[in-house]
Structure 1
Amino acid sequence: MGKSDEGLKSETAPVPRETPRSHRSAALVGALPGLAVAVVVACVAALLGQLVPLIGGPVFGILLGVVAAAGIRPLRAQPMTAGYRTAGTFVLQASIVVLGTGLSLGEVAQVGATSLPVMLGTLAVALGGAALVGRALGLDADTRTLIGVGTGICGASAIAAASAALKPKDSDVAYAIGTIFTFNIAAVLLFPPIGHLLGLGAHSFGLWAGTAVNDTSSVVAAAESYGGGASSYAIVVKLTRSLMIIPIVMALVALRTKRQRAAEGLSRSRLPWRRMVPAFIVGFVLAAALDTVGAVPASWHPGLSALGTFLVTVALAGIGLNLRIAEMRKAGARPLLLGGALWVAVGLASLGLQAVTGML
């Protein structure tokens, strides 16, 4: 065989094909720089959250992410965005699973038997009001859904879970987080004096705070400020309310899947049930079940809760880093108007339902 034949053979040799595993490895390596930036921002946000617990690490995370990306040009470079997206998807889903370890289904069953009508009623008011008022205000579907879920269930954690299901624009998530944050502060300041003015007992105030205040930290702050042992009941009500994440996320995934298939001309075929039950929701339920049977030691709860909150902070930092301020100017004050309307409606509905069911 001559040199020309050898050259021809080398030129026509097959090129090794890239396997799915090598593709995933390359994607992971490419995401590391942006993910590392999100973690650094989250660390700073977590420290600030400890200093100002009323605001909390997750809110600081998205705020610092937006500011950092706006002020430091290299952070806006295209190679960094892969890591930000990883934080806003996979880390976000992992945070929901970890947070499930703090949910005892036994306590949920005990509290749910008495408070379920109030919880379901306030959730219906939040979601129905978000659809009606949000549409009247001209907000897009994802923004009003995220604000409704955040108001009706559990603030930033519910927004995180719904975001993992809906995959909305980063600006929609920012609108929802900012709105929930605003009315969390208002609730902590206003609920205790209003409760004393109405003469609510500790149990009634705990149920009111647990169903009408958004984030867990704000529920604790408002109930502790009210005193009389209201905080212990409010916390359990709030954790029970968090379980509403499961059916809501499954419904959102089913709706999104149905719309996608309709757009592809597949509306008459069966929905793929495996896609309708996200893996992170299965993980959330399994984590709660493990905690219920005592497989998660009580001594681990503070650490796991802190880890779950930190993962939410990393995810929101990634979303903030990937967000551009110009995108947020379009909606103006409309998300706040929707959040305010829902906040008032849910607060009144909680008190009204307690009165109707004889719990006030």
Structure 2
Amino acid sequence: MQVAIFWLLLLSCLTPWMSAPVALVMGFVATALGLHPGPVAIASWVKQLLGIAIVAMGFGVQLQAAVSLTGSYLGLIVASIVLTLVAAWLLGRAFRVHPTTSYLIGSGTAICGGSAIAAIGPAIHAKADQLALAMATVFTLNAVALVVFPLIGHALDLDQHTFGVWAAIAIHDTSSVVGAAQAYGNEALQVATTLKLARALWIVPLALLSAWWYQRMQPNAGRVKVSLPWFIVGYVLAMLVHYVWPQFTPAYDLLFHGGKQLLVVCLFLIGASMSWAKLKAAGGAALLLAVLLWLLIGAGSLAWLLLAS
């Protein structure tokens, strides 16, 4: 009976009346009430479904607009990455957080949350507990951002374009960026998704640079393989398909809206994978470091956007 209720709640996320923030909270509550379906690999599901959703939404983005948008904010993307990594190093030393953990949290905040941490971790031979702690802090703040950012956006009366840029720069994981932007509006969703994935491309050079530096410091550590997340490649290919064959726009619109709804399912599953124990595990100096980095990039990027507008 409990498992059936869980699956009914999940299926309800496919309806147009379910929003991303509500789905996240509903998933968390379902697990808290013991409705979790047991030994199901939710993390693996989310990773694959989120990738499919992002690629599907790529069909709804105009290539020319995406290139123009990315070029317009390239300076902000690069500046935010560099500033966040430098701040992570300085604050990590001040709070006596292990340098590897600080670097993982800084990378996740600067680029793409859990995806960046997962890519950078092997490059610097991070330990399992360091990866888990960095993931937990970023995961906790992702959940907060999904709910809080749209509220702040409406309170400040941000237009959809500005909110989309802000979400792409200041929120960690792609899932929460897209979820928050979806709750704000379609234009915010397209802007946020495009810029977020452009920002996520920096995973590769940062991972390569990190691996090079680590191997320089630890010459016997061995080499590591760095790869680009497949959904970024798929998103770009989807835009190219739309550009080359624009006559199929009605089909692309269906894929775009299908991807949006699949994202809501992903947020429900993310909420279902959360627990009080995992949230408590993100406590202490590492969480304080993550919060301060997040406030820095969030407040700094918002101030820049408001001054530039």
Structure 2 residue 133 is the aligned partner of structure 1 residue 179: no
Alignment partner, residue 4 of structure 1: none
Structure 2 residue 299 is the aligned partner of structure 1 residue 344: yes
Aligned pairs, number: 276
Secondary structure in structure 1 of the residue aligned to 2:208: helix
1:144/1:195 CA distance change after superposition, 3 Å: same
- Unpaired segments of 5 or more residues in structure 1? 1-36, 150-157, 197-204, 225-230, 355-359
Does the 8 A contact of 1:108 with 1:236 survive in 2? no
Percent of aligned positions that are identical = 14
Alignment partner, residue 207 of structure 1: 161
Superposition map of 1:146-161 within 5 A: 146-149=108-111, 158-161=112-115
Secondary structure in structure 2 of the residue aligned to 1:329: coil
Does the 8 A contact of 1:175 with 1:328 survive in 2? yes
Does the 8 A contact of 2:21 with 2:183 survive in 1? no
**Which TM-score applies when normalising by structure 2?**
0.66
- Unpaired segments of 5 or more residues in structure 2? 122-129, 172-176
| From 227, 245, 249, the counterpart of 1:276 | 227
C-alpha distance in 2 between matches for 1:242 and 1:172 = 20
C-alpha distance in 1 between matches for 2:277 and 2:120 = 17
The alpha-carbon deviation at position 190 of structure 1 amounts to: 3.2
The alpha-carbon deviation at position 345 of structure 1 amounts to: 0.4
Structure 2 residue 281 is the aligned partner of structure 1 residue 327: yes
Does the 8 A contact of 1:97 with 1:287 survive in 2? no
Superposition map of 1:187-266 within 5 A: 187-195=149-157, 205-213=159-167, 214=171, 215-222=177-184, 232=187, 234-255=188-209, 257-258=211-212, 263=218, 265=220
Secondary structure in structure 2 of the residue aligned to 1:276: coil
RMSD: 4.3
Q: Which structure has the greater CA radius of gyration?
A: 1
Alignment partner, residue 55 of structure 1: 21
| From 124, 136, 158, the counterpart of 2:78 | 124
The alpha-carbon deviation at position 346 of structure 1 amounts to: 0.8
Highest RCO, 1 vs 2 (Cα 8 Å, sep ≥ 6): 2
Does the 8 A contact of 1:100 with 1:287 survive in 2? yes
1:119/1:185 CA distance change after superposition, 3 Å: farther
1:257/1:306 CA distance change after superposition, 3 Å: farther
